[in-house]
Chains A and B, each alone.
Chain A
């Protein structure tokens, strides 16, 4: 079975993003970019499934600008076998990405697609579910455990207030939650080897997918600042403030 893993290049999670002065978006020029942390977890899970013998090949794909090939190389250094880059504008909407991925799924015929549960830039949490809908496949979102047995995947899902288990008929879509695994670091020899692994580049237009955004950005603004608070010296003072000043207890 082949596993397809879509990965996204995003502003590194340690960086505090700055809103552009003209309110048109977030400034990404010269900012450190990395693989979306949830996608690292997805790549890790796919590689582990191949190591366990449940999969034969791991193919990573990214939809975005030329620079996204760095992200694909990172995924190959973690153990993915080959990569596909679909060239488009920066950060297309989940609907467009899901349509691109559907085309690739039709071409590659994977038995499983593992995505991250959300990207930390647009915080959409939608692409996996949308791809599952377009393909008519079962979806195991927010997965914290995955087991493959014959033609089924048994998935534990993080839900409000606990965990739910579902069984999905393969082929299926899984989206990775934080607790699924601890992604490995790419070793230097593997980073060198990843440079030689195949990376295919396709123009989004060649796939016949309409990439035009459905949502237009009216403005992007800084959230309201909180007023600076005070430091207190004792527990008694803290409780007094909460009782009489803030009136919350």
Chain B
């Protein structure tokens, strides 16, 4: 059996989440990857161990990974594949269901475990239940959670690159602009340590209290939906059912109560630390180490203590 992985990328780099999708797909059979966009990405994809072939669509209409042309391209290639896989990020979630509908297939999103070629485990109800589902479709279209699969290495492979032609698709959408937030910090979804703030951070200015701590730990910064809704930080910081799903070695929650929707995004972290003034906060039920204290006193002390 052969699986086709849509290998999404950003600013000239393969996304790390896409490399996790390669690992997941390798459990299903031989792995071919589809790269839409510039040739350097296709070269990088060829060097990923475990990839047997790179399909490269260089046509300009694929440059921004728009769903309409890309889904049509996937459908045109789908004939020879039993599985079509992508990382469960913004690109995979945008493109794959569209392709699945065109193939008359019910997609299987956010897979965390592959039982066999047609049976998959995925969280439902904000991660409060794990459903094992069996697909009766001829082809399986799935997105996988990067937190559940190790990323494939980025060097050591040497796969052939095959150019694929553009196919017709309805010209109904146009890319206008992109605004990426410039951050020197590690990527939230793949960071080893995440420092997160909630409504208890009080304001946009005070949210920066976490910066020195994140620097000291080499951590990414995250936030709860409450902090995002209050305008303290942009949307892409959000950890939770409707934001990013993370599973770092260490997750530190400051001023986060621990609503169901937030826990869905972080409860698979290896070690969870919670700092909260409210002893009844539900976050303490999942925290390995909890501390009832004012975070604005604790954070500077932590920075000092880490220097020792």
Contacts and interface: CB of A to CB of B under 8 A. Distances in A.
Contacts, number: 260
Interface in A110-126: 117-118, 120-126
Contacts of B17: 160
Interface in B90-115: 90-91, 93-102, 104-110
Interface stretch (B23-31, B36-44, B53-61, B166-174): B166-174
Nearest to B137: A214
A138 B173 contact: yes
B134 A216 contact: yes
Contacts of A214: 105-106, 135-137
Interface in A195-248: 213-223, 226-233, 235-236, 238-239, 241-242, 246, 248
A51 B109 CA distance: 36
Interface stretch (B63-71, B77-85, B149-157, B204-212): B63-71
A17 B129 contact: yes
A161 interface: yes
B10 interface: yes
Nearest to B290: A231
Interface residues of B, number: 91
Contacts of B225: 178
Interface stretch (A53-61, A62-70, A78-86, A91-99): A91-99
Q: Considering residues B125, B249, B285, which has the most beta carbons from chain A within 10 angstroms of its beta carbon?
A: B125
Interface of A: 11, 13-14, 16-17, 19, 26, 38, 93-95, 98, 117-118, 120-127, 129-134, 136-142, 144, 154, 157-169, 172, 177-179, 213-223, 226-233, 235-236, 238-239, 241-242, 246, 248-249
Given A129-B97, A129-B101, A226-B272, 10 more contacts: A19-B128, A129-B95, A129-B98, A132-B68, A158-B90, A162-B181, A163-B179, A165-B178, A229-B290, A239-B306
